[in-house]
Every structure is written in C-alpha cells, then in structure tokens.
Amino acid sequence: MDKETTIYDIAKELSISPTTVSRGLNDHPAVNKKTRQRIYEAATLMGYRSNTFASSLRKQRTNTIGVIVPMLNSNFQSSVLAGMERVANEAGYNLIISQSLETVQKEIANAKTMFDNRVDGLLVSIAYDTENVDHFEPFFSRGIPLLFYDRVPEHKKCTSIVIDNIQAAYKATAHLIEQGCRNLVHISGSLKVNLYQERLKGFKYALMDNNISFSDACVISTNLSVEAGISAAQQILQMDPMPDGIFVSNDTCAVSCLKTLSQAGISIPNDVAIVGFNNDPITRIVEPNLTSINYPGEEMGEMAVRSLINYLDGASDVAITNTITLRSELVVRASSTRKGEAS
C-alpha cells in the first residue's frame, strides 16, 4: 500500500516549512497568494488528502450538522432540506441526514448515531409516535445545540421553529364557512403530535366563532397517507347528512380524498368544498385545483441552520429563544370556491 502524502512531503518538495504548507492549505493570510497556489498544485499532484478527522479533534468541531426527518418522501421536507443545505454549505458545514420512518424507535437510534458521530448540532422534526424526548438528553447535558422544527415537543432547553398552526387552520376553516359550508369535517394526523393538535384547535375555534357546533364525529384521525384519504372519503360517503366542507391536515391525503369523492359522483366544490395543507405541487395538478395553506419549508430550513450556526459561533443561545414562528397563507383555488373565481 502506498504511503499517505503528508504536509512534510509537500514541504520537502517545495523547500518550505511544514508550517507554511499547513497555513497555505488553510488559506492563512500570512502566506502570500503565489505560495498558496504552489502549495495547492503540489498537494493535488502528490495526492494529498486533508485529515479532517484530526483537524476536528483539534478544533473540537466537526463542521457537521445532523438532521432527523420523519420521512424523506415529502415535498415539504425536501423544501426544508434544500433551505438547510444552502445555508450550511455557505457557512462551510455539511449535513448528515437520516429519517425516523415515523417511529420513535428509529428516532432513538438516529439520535444515538448523530451523538456518536459528534455532530456540532442537531435539527429534528419528531416522529408520529414520539411522546417524550428523553433520547435527546445526551445533547442537552453536553450543551450540544438541538433545535426542533415543524413537529415539535414542548421543551424548555431548545428552540422550536414553527408556523402558527392554530391561525392557519382557523383561516382554512373560516374560508370554508365563508363559502357556505355549515357541516364540516376535519381529517387530522396523529393527535399525539403538536401541530395536529393545534390545527384541530384552529378548526374548533373557527366553528365556535361562527356558531357551528363541534362534535368528536367531526374529526377523522389518520396517518394522512394516500390510503388514509381514500378511507376517510369512504367514511364521509356513509355520513348522514354528508359534510359540505372538509379541512385536511395535508395535501397528499386531501387529494386522494378529493379524487375518491369525485369518482363516487360527488361534485367538488358544489357538494363538498375541500381545503388541504402544505401547498404541495400536487395541488396545482389535481382537478379541481386544491385550496391549501402555503407553508414556507425552505425558509424554515434556512432559519433552522442559521440559528444553530449563530449559536455555534457564539452569536446567540438557542436555549433562550423558545419559539420562532414563521408566516403562512391560504392559497385559494377551485376546490373550495363556490362564489366568484379562485385567486
């Protein structure tokens, strides 16, 4: 096996000191540009590889940020990761990304892997069945910054980045009521998860403010998959009287529900008006186009990484700011508009 090229080999080749080589490879201003160029060229020709592991040990910094997402096959999570990647790369950090597959057991294993890999900080959107965050305690006890986004637990030691889910759900439900809907159903995700609890609250508040009674029968709790949308639609078709408005907690489920109802001869929005959540690209493909809450995933990812890096650079403390709330907006389309044109 060939011997690994070192800075001493480069120094000997160029007749300069190993210190100068080291500084040149790290763009130290004490080494002039011409000498740095010579060092780069020699390092490339000689097959030199920087020992980032040893460098990390010296700096007590790995320049990696861990990310745990529930599922990667989500337009929202893809948008979040795009925002995270952009800010991380600009700041010289790499991301290590893993998915919990919506189970707390996998989330626990992911957290241990991230800790063992000495990530500088961790970003997490929790799984469907995560009820406590004890498995993140090693990060809290070692002072490693941990930030939750989107699906967040209540925890006093870290920052959360969210939208105002109560307000967003209220807007969606109020819009259906403005269209003349009086018998509304909410298709929710797991009510163990904060954001689905909050969206249900927004739904209830809108009913209350419009003197519409609420009952538990108004809520269909699902995993918000395509199959869940089909099942929910079949359940709705059996209701008597049938609902005239449906607010769904994500677009994937909303679209499959809409299509199943349409195939059963239900006119959307004349018989049943539907609003989804997330403003995924599929909302502009399905017919009629789906009204939805626009949710700033990319901005959330950018904000999450920026907040962590500010903490690592000593510019802020993620344990002080408890919650960062981003904007959201209702994008009105044909699936819910019974009066006038969709904007």
Taking only the tens place, the pLDDT of each residue in 140-185 is 888 889 999 999 987 777 789 999 999 999 999 999 999 999 999 9
Class (C level, CATH) for 165-295: alpha beta
* pLDDT confidence of residue 60: 62
> 267, 239 in Cβ contact below 8 A?
no
Query: Which pLDDT score is estimated for 315?
Result: 63
pLDDT at position 1, please? 42
Specify the CATH class of 7-50 in words: mainly alpha
Walk along the chain (343 residues) and give the pLDDT tens digit of each residue: 457 788 888 999 999 998 898 888 877 888 898 998 999 888 888 877 665 544 544 456 788 999 999 999 888 999 999 999 999 999 999 999 999 999 999 999 999 999 988 899 999 999 988 988 999 999 988 888 999 999 998 777 778 999 999 999 999 999 999 999 999 999 999 998 889 999 999 999 999 999 999 999 999 999 999 999 999 999 999 999 999 999 999 999 999 999 999 999 999 999 999 999 999 999 999 999 999 999 889 999 999 999 999 888 876 665 556 789 999 999 999 999 986 544 4
pLDDT at 275: 98
Best CA proximity match to 260, nearest among 244, 277, 236: 236
d(CA 124, CA 148): 5
Q: What is the signed CA dihedral for 51, 54, 55, 57, rounded to 10 degrees?
A: 160
Say how far apart CA 193 and CA 29 lie, in whole Å.
Answer: 51
Amino acid 82: pLDDT: 96
Domain limits, the chain: 7-50, 62-163+297-327, 165-295
| Identical fold between 7-50 and 165-295 | no
In this predicted structure, what is the pLDDT of residue 197? 95
Per the CB < 8 A criterion, the answer to whether 216 and 154 are in contact is no
CATH superfamily of 62-163+297-327: Response regulator (3.40.50.2300)
Taking the complete model, does pTM exceed 0.85, yes or no?
A: no
